[in-house]
Amino acid sequence: EVQLVESGGGLVQPGGSLRLPCEASGFTFTNYWMNWVRQAPGKGPVWVSRINSDGSSATYADSVKGRFTISRDNAKNTLYLQMNSLRVDDTAVYYCAKVRGGTDYFDSWGQGTLVTVSA
Amino acid sequence: AVQLTQSPSSVSASVGDRVTVTCRTSQGISSALAWYQQKPGKPPKLLIYDASSLESGVPSRFSGGVSGTDFTLTIRSLQTEDSATYYCQESDGFSVTFGGGTKVEIK
């Protein structure tokens, strides 16, 4: 059974940083591209970033480009999102999501971790 | 980036009714569109991919279709457990876009 477990969320002041890990199990992590998707309270999901299977290529939404960095450690089956220069509008539940092989459809999601950016 | 416009924003229907949700794209995206179901406090769940392919384990009362730039999600016979918000999603290979959502409620 695929399991994705995010952690690292919490309350941070504007301009601060957080690093979110997502531990993966139940599938061959190294075979899949991985993504981060966020959802602000009461709003729809918004894609944040994706990384390819070996970690050599990443893509970002314009809203986070230059501030967030996605990475992965395939030896530890763990995906990361380093978030710097956080803004109030980055407040959201952050989900890691596995793609359905070779596509950009998200067939498995973690339960999410809440990031609150507030003074 | 492609924009996805869902309609209606909400719908209330009775058990057994047929419910259709539409997702209109701002430009042609072939059939690379998915539908998700999300219940409160839970992550989205993949229902349909490639516009009309049913994800494994999803009840057959869910179906997807496409006509031009309009994609549809149909629930053939609405059940109480179908009360949720539904989102469409596409990718152009560079970025991923979600629709604004349709809340389906049971009368």
Q: How far is A94 from chain B, CA to nearest CA, in Å? A: 10
Between the alpha carbon of residue B5 and those of residues A40, B68, B75, B100, B104, the distances in Å are: 19, 14, 19, 7, 16
Closest CA to A74 of A23, A39, A3, A17: A23
d(CA B63, CA B75): 7
d(CA A19, CA B53): 36
pLDDT value for B84: 98
Closest CA to B42 of B100, B85, B105: B85
pLDDT value for B34: 97
Report residue B23 as tokens. 């997702």
What is the arithmetic mean of pLDDT over A6-24?
98
Question: Residues A85-97: pLDDT tens digits?
Answer: 999 999 999 999 9
Closest CA to A33 of A3, A5, A54: A54
Q: Residue A116 gets which letter from DSSP?
A: E
Q: Which residues of A touch B (CB under 8 A)?
A: 35, 37, 44-47, 50, 59, 61, 95, 97, 100, 103-107, 109-112
**Considering chain A, what is the average pLDDT of its residues?**
97
Nearest by CB to residue B101, choosing from A44, A100, A109, is: A44
Question: Residues B10-41: pLDDT tens digits?
Answer: 999 999 999 999 999 987 767 789 999 999 99
Q: From chain B, pick out residues whose CB is under 8 angstroms from the CB of A97.
A: 43
pLDDT value for B29: 65
Contact check, Cβ <8 Å, A44/B100: yes
Test mutation, A50, A105, A113, A114, chain B, max B CBs within 10 A: A105
Q: How far is B32 from chain A, CA to nearest CA, in Å? A: 9
Residues near B5 by beta carbon (within 8 Å), at least 6 away in sequence: B23, B24, B26, B99, B100
Question: Residues A53-76: pLDDT tens digits?
Answer: 999 999 999 999 999 999 999 999
What is the arithmetic mean of pLDDT over B61-66?
96
A47 pLDDT higher than 70: yes
Interface check B2 vs A, CB under 8 A = no
Nearest by CB to residue A110, choosing from B43, B87, B96, is: B43
Contact check, Cβ <8 Å, A105/B89: yes
